[in-house]
Structure 1
Amino acid sequence: MWLTWRAATRRALYGDEGFYLRERPGRHFRTSVHVSAAFAGALLRLIDRVDADLGRPDVLDLVDVGSGDGLLPARVLASAPPGLAERLRITAVDLSSRPADLDARISWADAVPDRVEGLVVANEWLDNVPVDIVEQTPSGPRLVLVDPETGAERLGPPPAPEDLAWLDRWWPLNDLDDVDGRRAEIGRPRDEAWASVIVRLGRGTAVAVDYAHHAGARPLLGSLTAYRDGSVVPAVPDGSCDVTAHVALDACAAAGERAGATATTLTTQRAALRDLGVAGARPPIELASADPLGYVRALGRAAEEAELIDPTGLGGFGWLSQLKR
């Protein structure tokens, strides 16, 4: 049975017994949330900024989209000062089942609430919104079809007109000297997914953090890959692994603006986290003699922060922040 990559990935990740319905992400890959509690600490400082911008309302929403094991909202709640913790209305959004040990103050849902006033965070969510893959041929782009059981591929029909329009705007394949065999991932479903978040944001900020690329620097052969048990594996959409592709965050930003965002910042995780106080600085060497255990703990925190802002790793992730008032 031959399917488009979008259809095959949707079934593999979210269909009956799909990968994300039965697995927790932390077993297969490390996100910034799992690397260090400093990521949640930075988001807590962002929450304080959003809270102040909204005038310290009686109820402040925090929505974590693609929450996985709920670790991010759990860490934020555990670190929040009592006054803020009492006002936070936290929703973890995921299609998997609620973790048994999750704090009862955190709601678990399969969709973003209809109206949000506060902060929405989507950390490594958009890369798991399934997309179609196309390959350029002498007659134009053709959809790539895949056998879900083996990962074997063949070319199919041309994309739909709306997808061709997306390619022309965001990932043109015909502006290269040697175009045949070049590939692209049609990011329109991600644009729509992100726009649906912005539509639900009444007032506040929405942040998407992900593997990303931008116009003028798209990968020539696409970015499709897969993970299983902490290792990169061949992308086979049979439900045994996480199938993912990087995100055209600039296209998502434009979709968010069409959906009502009033301000947009598109930067890197390194820049965003440094602005939120994540420095990765080593503690002063004098602390080693004055407080050896404290020095070791501070050195460990510095190493974790350095990993979060490493420009060749997590620090190179795209960070899209959009405001709505």
Structure 2
Amino acid sequence: MQKILTALGAAAMLSVSTLSALADYPERPITIVVPFAAGGPTDTVTRLVAESMSKDLGQQVVVENVGGAGGTLGAGRVAQSDPDGYTLLLHHIGMATSATLYRKLAYDTLGAFEYVGLVTEVPMTIVARKDLEPADLKGLVDYAKANKDTVTVANAGIGAASHLCGMLFMTAIGTPLVTVPYKGTGPAMTDLLGGQVDIMCDQTTNTTKQIQGGTIKAYAVTTAKRLDVLPDLPTTDEAGLPGMQVGIWHGIYAPKGTPADVTEKLSKALQVALKDENVVARFAELGTTPSPEADATPAALKAKLESEIARWKPIIEAAGQYAD
């Protein structure tokens, strides 16, 4: 009996200790891992949100770039971290597509993480080198089909947003093109600007300023409605490629086993950050908007991830572009 009472007492003390720790969370800086290089679209989004979350949480939220393998290295790093709320992951749609794209992953996509909430859904733009001949999207599709063995489509690497959008574009036009993977968005855009590659499909967070400056040619945006920041750019539906709508959504994750009270606190801080006037304004300049409060929740992110895995699985399998 004494042993039982002692065990119960120890359990009670542990419970009180845990509750106390949760009440004091966070007591030190929090790291958000971005599984891509610094300066890219996901990194830009993360730094804006991290700065605002720091104010609400009362601790600095720092960003660490752990790039490589289409985002899976950074995701794996977080999956193996202590579930204490001090190491998080901000990943985009690649979190869903990597489940099919990679034959072997160091983590179980649906089983290795807890969910904090959705951050934003960034539109994609179909762009090309400035001197590419076609004047509109219909002309681009005809040109690509007629020159499928020589037209090059740049992307930031297997699993990157530009790779996924490029696959979707080729699926939409029913024509495989020559894909040219780079080690990051920066090098891919540099070669597009220099005319070394023909086409790229990338996030507005990376293309808006180039489009506005006239340094690349823009054909369409992959949204149902035109964007305020690019009002003259037609949607894919308007431009003659109906059904090619895709947004690169971003979400925040924590390692599996992170206490629900911690993820809820992080979710609340995220919701506050997404209403921050500076975040809203900067997102608008980049052609995107913060997720609404109802989507910046654990349940909404979990549902989004599950549905997107199901959506992209047949597209990736049909393209046959797998990574080891």
- Whether TM exceeds 0.5 here: the answer is no
The interval holding the TM-score normalised by the smaller chain is under 0.3
Alignment TM-score, normalising by the size of structure 2 = 0.26
Question: Which is strand-richer, 1 or 2?
Answer: 1
- Higher RCO (C-alpha under 8 Å, 6+ residues apart): 2
Question: Which is helix-richer, 1 or 2?
Answer: 2
